[in-house]
Amino acid sequence: MGILKNGFSGLRVLKEGLTGNKGWTPHWRDPEPKAEYDILIIGGGGHGLATAHYLASVHGLTNVAVLEKGYIGGGNIGRNTTIVRANYFLPGNSEFYSHSLKLWEGLEQDLNYNVMHSQRGIFNLFHSDAQRDAFVRRGNAMINQGDDAILLDREGVRKHLPYLDYDNARFPVFGALHHPRGGTARHDAVAWGYARGADSRGVDILQNCEVTGIDIEGGGVKGVQTTRGAIKAKKVGIVVAGRSGQVAAMAGMRLPIESHVLQAFVTEGLKPVIDNVVTFGMGHFYISQSDKGGLVFGGDLDSYATYAARGNLPMVEHVMEAGMTLMPMIGKAKILRSWGGIMDMTPDGSPIIDKTDIEGLFIDCGWCYGGFKAAPASGHCFAHLIATGRPHEAARGFRIDRFRTGYGIIDEEGTGSQHNLH
Amino acid sequence: MRINCPICGDRDHREFYYRGAAMARPDPDAGEAAWDDYVYLRENPAGETRDLWYHASGCNAWIVVSRNTLTHAITSTELAAES
Ligand SMILES: Cc1cc2nc3c(=O)[nH]c(=O)nc-3n(C[C@H](O)[C@H](O)[C@H](O)COP(=O)(O)OP(=O)(O)OC[C@H]3O[C@@H](n4cnc5c(N)ncnc54)[C@H](O)[C@@H]3O)c2cc1C
């Protein structure tokens, strides 16, 4: 198998280093599209590539193509702030993200690829008695799910994060819910690793191949139209994140999805200073430090429907204010870049992995601002659904009809199931 | 982004609360499909769209804003009561 022939190992790095690094080869092929495949995956982001990898590695289905309109790593998979966690509260989400974290923990071995998964721990800070009570409940739900959560008081937090403004007049730090198995990973390496894993098993990864139409006959899918020609297939999976509405419209569907922009920021490289993930409980601000030294941080959605992959200044201002409130020490760091990505927001803030009313057409969408950590389980469960026709146990709550029926809404934040509330 | 409130004039978008797509409310007994459509399903266009904004920190008017979701350009605004 290709993966073994071109496998990465310490020995190989040493050998290549001593022989001028001339033996490295592209991580995946650049094939011409075939006229027909068994399965087409529309969208070569983290979720689409993971789906292809698990179709091949778990189900042995390799006559598969991933159709990506741009280049691998150009979508949200290469734009997120890389936080990986399993700290959800509600049934439906809880078991799914738990499943995902377990896949993360074996991912580098599975892919033979260094995705720099770093379980550096997450600290969700709380700033009032009521917020502590809510975090106690969340922590218990995490433990009941078999994951890890530790409640820390103020002094307990101080041992890990000495640099916070504990006595801030408005938002003093009361404590934190610590999730030691949470952390970060290198986002684009996840895309590359899955692409290589799928390709080495025979999956064709077709870049610069935009899907422009979905062919449906007699209530069943027959294939797609693309900028690189028509391609036939009896099974098609839509996994296009922020563009879900448009691709679904090619099949005559309207989705319970609105697209919004989420912004993020990175500073110049600094010496190691923040060695975990920290989230503020009284404003939209969370932060970690990349291995290159940049402080990577972000906040909330701009909160209006948009496809412009850039935000407006009010959210920038809010994030900076929140950051300065929590950790004034970062005030002198210079921001190098800011950017935005388009999020597929559902009314209840939870995703969809389901069949559609069209035979052979499947959809995986609605990842909102939290789909990076979900990529392994999303791919694993979507592959299961496409291969077997049945939902995977860990994703059975992610039904598309929960909005129409009102049954099984997964409103993690408890704010209501309505488009502008998540 | 600045929104031109028909009553107050050009204002920073922070003064407004975003409600979402401006859609016609179905009859109470229009049936499940019509209500599913209204409450949940969205065209979610990349381009021209019309959505509802509430001037919460201003005159409390509901405003229909026509704008472009690709460029953030606002083409027109009108009071929801008159649209
Ligand atoms: C600023 C920011 C911070 C974030 N932080 C986090 C975080 O810390 N933790 C976390 O868990 N999540 C986070 N997320 C969310 C996460 O990045 C997304 O939910 C996730 O990446 C979406 O899935 P994807 O990787 O498959 O999407 P994408 O990488 O966007 O993949 C979708 C692909 O579909 C392609 N496509 C679209 N239309 C077509 C078409 N017609 N034909 C062919 N291809 C098409 C696109 O080009 C794109 O490559 C963040 C997102 C952003 C923007």
> Domain segments of chain A: what residues?
27-86+89-113+187-255+348-405, 122-181+258-345
CA distance A16 to A357: 52
Taking only the tens place, the pLDDT of each residue in A248-306 is: 999 999 999 999 999 999 999 999 999 999 999 999 999 999 999 999 999 999 999 99
User: Looking at domain A27-86+89-113+187-255+348-405, which of 3.50.50.60, 3.40.605.10, 3.20.20.70, 3.60.20.30 is its CATH number?
Assistant: 3.50.50.60
pLDDT over threshold 50, residue A3: no
Higher pLDDT, A420 or B70: B70
Total number of domains constituting chain B:
1
pLDDT over threshold 90, residue A310: no
Confidence category of residue A5, pLDDT binned at 50, 70, 90: low
Q: What is the pLDDT of residue A4?
A: 53
- Tell me the residue range of the domain where B29 lies: 2-82
- Tell me the sheet residues that pair with A406: none
pLDDT over threshold 90, residue A59: yes
Residue A321 φ then ψ, to 5°: -65, -45
Amino acid, res. A211: V
> What is this structure's pTM?
0.97
Q: What is the pLDDT of residue A2?
A: 44
Atom index in ligand 1 nearest the CA of residue A367 equals 19
CA distance A172 to B54: 33
CATH class of A122-181+258-345: alpha beta
| Integer-rounded Cα radius of gyration of chain A | 22
Taking only the tens place, the pLDDT of each residue in A382-412 is: 999 999 999 999 999 999 999 999 999 999 9
* Residue A304 in contact with partner chain B when CB distance is under 8 A: yes
Q: Give the distance from residue B33's alpha carbon to the nearest chain A alpha carbon, in angstroms.
A: 8
pLDDT over threshold 50, residue B66: yes
Q: What is the pLDDT of residue A309?
A: 86
Taking only the tens place, the pLDDT of each residue in A327-345 is: 999 999 999 999 999 999 9
Q: What is the pLDDT of residue A1?
A: 40
Taking only the tens place, the pLDDT of each residue in B19-65 is: 999 999 999 999 999 999 999 999 999 999 999 999 999 999 999 99
Q: What is the pLDDT of residue A420?
A: 87
Torsion sign, CA atoms B70, A311, A379, A401 = negative
CATH at B56: 3.30.2270.10
pLDDT over threshold 80, residue A195: yes
* Residue B36 in contact with partner chain A when CB distance is under 8 A: yes
> How many helices (H) and strands (E) would you count in chain B?
1, 6
- Tell me the sheet residues that pair with A232: A36, A223
Taking only the tens place, the pLDDT of each residue in A97-130 is: 999 999 999 999 999 999 999 999 999 999 999 9
| Cβ-based burial of A17 (10 A; exposed 0-12, middle 13-18, buried ≥19) | exposed
Torsion sign, CA atoms A33, A39, A41, A46 = negative
Residue to probe by mutation, ligand 1, list A372, A373, A381, A412, most atoms within 8 Å of CB: A372
Q: Is A240 in the pocket of ligand 1 (CB under 6 A)?
A: yes
